[in-house]
Structure 1
Amino acid sequence: MAQVQTIAERQEAGKLARMRSPRSQNAAIGNVNRDPVQLLRENSTGRVEALVPLRYGRMAVSPFTFYRGSAILQAHDLAGTNNSGITFPVCGDAHLMNFGGFATPERQLVFDLNDFDEVAVGPWEWDVKRLAASFAIAGESMGIERGSIKDIVATAMQEYSDRMHKYAGCSALELWHEIVTFERMLETAATSEGRQLINRAMEKAAGRTHESMLGKIASEQDGRWTIHDAPPALFHPAGPNSLLGANKKWADTAEWKSKLAAAFDSYLLTLAPERRQLIAQFDLQDTAFKVVGVGSVGTFCLVMLFIDSHGKPLFLQVKEARQSVIARFFEGDNATHDGERVVCGQRLLQAASDSFLGWTTGPQGRTFYFRQLRDMKISAEVERMSSTILQGYARLCGWALARAHAKAGGKAIEIAAYLGNGGRFADALTQYALDYAVQNSKDYDTFIRACRSGQLEARSDEDMAADFRV
């Protein structure tokens, strides 16, 4: 076993990292000499062809939705910046909409990172910069004035720094057990309005269960449950509303069912024995294709509906795992299986993870990971927030990201020493966020021109849904 360094040695390593990457240099936005349209096209390769226009249509709604779907651009740009040399598995897509509430296996409601498609070994600063820029871009999209946007970004960055200094004083086990519960959020809320929103979120989460979803998206006939088609967002792979191509072999063929069964059996082997025993108490009723969030549109994603002997449901989501944009632009530990990469990264970064997390390899060699589709999961309704509430939300995101980094990297002491006690890092990141918002706006304009000229095809959910109306 490697010898554990002393606190003094680790603090010195963090201070020496400033030599490699001075804190003021974190304001640099990096290498933006690239064609955003070409990079987006490359990122769409291998996705469901008929769904790529929907991906672009969702991105076209605003500069913020464009930012959410274009993680590849920022990863490219950040590869042209200095970093501290402190690396570990990072989220890779830590924008403000990839935080939210969900239930732990012990049924405790927590706030944490909740999207790990891009997780990979990389510089911790890249996560922080993605978060900072997301607040600047969202603030501009919401019409918040520049001075308030600066305060919001600075709040997130200062909270990250303050929490990291606190975590630097925690033992390894204390960090591993640290969790941001909604009860703790209530205790730290700065305003009564903030406390009211947290309470409402807790009430909403309590109603977002497998049972509450069953009657909304499925129906029972002759003792079997069937998921309703709702194209383009939800459809059966082999059904009349499928967008996967008429000449593909899908669920109505014995060959496809055999491959799906083999992939599911492989997934079960990645679970702990007691979880396998739990799933064995459910019977698979139906499988459908589900289109997911902005950045993942067009990737292969299935929903599996299971029912136990009491008629109670379990929904599992089977989501394709593609190469991380972080791994593409930063040379870290290369994953041998992208589904395993996502699962291991999620388990490492989250305080408590889904009981059903696992991975498999599907037909055509695609890699997938499993998780519950809904288990008291909620996301912030950012567009309805005032600048004051958005600032409070920024504080929560800064806290949650610091906790995730402290646990995943075991480098809280080094990062805290790098950050120092002043506001130099927060100032640099605030400037970075404002400047990157300008760059994002330029990229968005280029993207919109490509859509209008026919270089890219962009269609809204409403446009595509109309194709299926009689």
Structure 2
Amino acid sequence: MAVVQSLKERQAAGRDARRHAKRSLHAAIGNTDRDPVQLLQENSKGRVEALVPLRYGRMSVSPFTFYRGSAILQAHDLAGTVNSGIAFPVCGDAHLLNFGGFATPERQLVFDLNDFDEVATGPWEWDVKRLAASFAIAGEHMGFNRGALADIVATALHEYRDRMSQYAEYSALELWHEIVTFERMIEAAVTAEGRQHINRTMEKAASRTHESLLGKMATLTDGRWIIRDAPPALFHPGGPNSLLGHEQKWSDTDEWKGKLSAAFDNYLRTLSSERRKLIAQYALHDVAFKVVGVGSVGTFCLVMLFIDSHGKPLFLQVKEARQSVISRFFHGEGTPHQGDRVVSGQRLLQAASDSFLGWTTGPAGRQFYFRQLRDMKVSADVERMSSTILRGYARICGWALARAHAKASGKAVEIAAYLGNGNRFADALTEYAFAYAEQNQKDYDTFIRACRSGTLEARSDEDMAADFRV
């Protein structure tokens, strides 16, 4: 049995961490003596070769899209910064667009972290710093002045501090069942504009279902639903529009489907028995390769379309899980299977997770995890937000991150004691956010020069789509 410390002992441990990790030291951005292009090229190894230019093309749109796709750079830099010594499975990529709304298995709309490709044991401060910097970088891209941006960044940090202090008083079970619903978000909103924005988002989420996706994404042919090719973002692995290359043997459809079937059976073994019975009521109609996001472009990602006897769909997404950038630069407890790492981390950090979350090993030893493609999932349209709405969004992100960290770590008492009631940590991280935004701009400029010189090939979705037009 574990030895449970008293609250006083835990609070003392949190305050004691300030001795070796002064809160003011969090303003430092770390070790930036590296070649960003080289690190990005290393991070692209093992991806679908034909899709790497698309990854760079999506990253080249703005300093913020570059930031989204270059988590490896910040992880490298953070390894040279101070931390409190409190480590646990963190998101690893907690920028502002990796939060969003989705439905729980009980059909309740909640707001939470929603991307866990980089989840790994690491310092909690790394998540908070990635979030803070993302608001500074996105806000600068949107043209907000420094004063407004400082207020937005500080809002997220103050909310994280205040919520962590609140969670330090929760019992273990109370914290485990804590959930940020959209109804609670409306109650917490401080402006009428904010409440209206949340209500509109709820309406949008309600329309984003498997059924609404079916007609947009597939065609019924002779009683079978077939996913429509839309290269480069969506194509059949063994079809004429495939970008996977012959060396992957995807063109051998029968061989590929046989391997996929075995991998799917292994995935089912990671689900609870009632979930397996649920999936058994569906028949597989089609499978296609789907390019998603920015940082994930070039990794193997499939979408599987299932239909039940009523003709209703279920879309499952199968995403490749690679080594986390966090585990590359911070040595903590690891999980041998990368898909298991993502699933376990997601279940630990989220208040409620996807019913179909599971993992498997696929062809060529690649490791994958499964989740639903769409289930009332909705993300923030940040670039259309006013400064008032973005500040409200920052508050909600700070709340959600504090809840996730408090649950996953069981260390809310220690973290809250370390943070204290003042502004030292928030002031330091606001300074960090602007300093890292400047570093991100330098890295972006270096990246763009590499694209223009031909060192890196960058192509847009439109450019690549033109290759398939007759």
- Which TM-score tier does this pair reach, normalised by the shorter chain? over 0.9
The AA in structure 2 aligned to 1:237 is P
Determine the structure 2 residue equivalent to 1:172.
172
> Could you tell me how far apart the structure 1 residues matched to 2:38 and 2:13 are?
39
The AA in structure 1 aligned to 2:137 is I
Alpha carbons 1:65, 1:294 under 8 Å: kept: yes
Determine the structure 2 residue equivalent to 1:421.
421
Task: Work out whether 1:140 is the aligned partner of 2:128.
Answer: no
Determine the structure 1 residue equivalent to 2:268.
268
> Could you tell me how far apart the structure 2 residues matched to 1:391 and 1:197 are?
13
Determine the structure 2 residue equivalent to 1:130.
130
Determine the structure 2 residue equivalent to 1:433.
433
> Could you tell me how far apart the structure 1 residues matched to 2:296 and 2:207 are?
26
Determine the structure 2 residue equivalent to 1:337.
337
Determine the structure 1 residue equivalent to 2:444.
444
The AA in structure 2 aligned to 1:430 is T
Determine the structure 2 residue equivalent to 1:112.
112
Task: Work out whether 1:382 is the aligned partner of 2:382.
Answer: yes
Determine the structure 2 residue equivalent to 1:244.
244
> Could you tell me how far apart the structure 1 residues matched to 2:106 and 2:91 are?
24
In structure 1, runs of 5+ residues without a counterpart are none
Determine the structure 2 residue equivalent to 1:407.
407
Task: Work out whether 1:463 is the aligned partner of 2:463.
Answer: yes
The C-alpha deviation readout for 1:3-48, integer Å capped at 9, x for no partner, is 1110000001101111121000000000000000000000000000
The C-alpha deviation readout for 1:386-405, integer Å capped at 9, x for no partner, is 11110000000000000000
Cα deviation for residue 335 of structure 1 reads 1.7
Determine the structure 2 residue equivalent to 1:44.
44
Determine the structure 2 residue equivalent to 1:152.
152
- Residue identity over aligned pairs, in percent, reads 81
Cα deviation for residue 258 of structure 1 reads 1.2
Task: Work out whether 1:35 is the aligned partner of 2:28.
Answer: no
The AA in structure 2 aligned to 1:84 is S
> Could you tell me how far apart the structure 1 residues matched to 2:254 and 2:377 are?
35
SS of equivalent residue, structure 1 residue 428: helix
Alpha carbons 1:101, 1:377 under 8 Å: kept: yes
The C-alpha deviation readout for 1:119-156, integer Å capped at 9, x for no partner, is 00000000000000000000000000011110000000
Cα deviation for residue 82 of structure 1 reads 1.2
> Could you tell me how far apart the structure 1 residues matched to 2:83 and 2:101 are?
31
The C-alpha deviation readout for 1:436-465, integer Å capped at 9, x for no partner, is 000000000000000000000000000000
> Could you tell me how far apart the structure 2 residues matched to 1:24 and 1:458 are?
39
Cα deviation for residue 252 of structure 1 reads 4.4
> Could you tell me how far apart the structure 1 residues matched to 2:26 and 2:311 are?
54
Instruction: Give the number of equivalent residue pairs.
Output: 470
SS of equivalent residue, structure 2 residue 19: helix
> Could you tell me how far apart the structure 2 residues matched to 1:278 and 1:61 are?
42
> Could you tell me how far apart the structure 2 residues matched to 1:93 and 1:400 are?
14
Determine the structure 1 residue equivalent to 2:206.
206
Determine the structure 1 residue equivalent to 2:289.
289
SS of equivalent residue, structure 2 residue 416: helix
The AA in structure 2 aligned to 1:437 is A
Determine the structure 2 residue equivalent to 1:71.
71
SS of equivalent residue, structure 2 residue 18: helix
The AA in structure 1 aligned to 2:38 is Q
The C-alpha deviation readout for 1:226-266, integer Å capped at 9, x for no partner, is 00000000000000000001343226432211110000000
> Could you tell me how far apart the structure 2 residues matched to 1:111 and 1:295 are?
22
SS of equivalent residue, structure 1 residue 13: helix
Q: What is the aligned-residue RMSD (CA, Å)?
A: 0.6
> Could you tell me how far apart the structure 2 residues matched to 1:247 and 1:20 are?
52
The C-alpha deviation readout for 1:390-424, integer Å capped at 9, x for no partner, is 00000000000000000000000000000011110
Determine the structure 1 residue equivalent to 2:193.
193
> Could you tell me how far apart the structure 1 residues matched to 2:42 and 2:124 are?
25
> Could you tell me how far apart the structure 2 residues matched to 1:159 and 1:235 are?
43
In structure 2, runs of 5+ residues without a counterpart are none
TM-score (norm 1): 0.99
Alpha carbons 1:20, 1:85 under 8 Å: kept: no
SS of equivalent residue, structure 1 residue 20: coil
> Could you tell me how far apart the structure 2 residues matched to 1:285 and 1:20 are?
57
Alpha carbons 1:251, 1:257 under 8 Å: kept: no
Which runs of 4 or more aligned residues in structure 1 lie more than 3 Å from their structure 2 counterparts after TM superposition? none
* Alpha carbons of structure 1 residues 306 and 238: separation in structure 2 relative to 1, 3 Å: same
> Could you tell me how far apart the structure 2 residues matched to 1:168 and 1:253 are?
54
The AA in structure 2 aligned to 1:324 is S
SS of equivalent residue, structure 1 residue 426: helix
Determine the structure 1 residue equivalent to 2:235.
235
Matches within 5 A, 1:92-103: 92-103=92-103
The AA in structure 1 aligned to 2:459 is R
> Could you tell me how far apart the structure 1 residues matched to 2:253 and 2:58 are?
33
SS of equivalent residue, structure 1 residue 284: strand
> Could you tell me how far apart the structure 2 residues matched to 1:252 and 1:287 are?
14
SS of equivalent residue, structure 2 residue 288: strand
The C-alpha deviation readout for 1:144-186, integer Å capped at 9, x for no partner, is 0011110000000000000000000000000000000000000
Determine the structure 2 residue equivalent to 1:323.
323
> Could you tell me how far apart the structure 2 residues matched to 1:167 and 1:253 are?
52
Alpha carbons 1:150, 1:430 under 8 Å: kept: yes
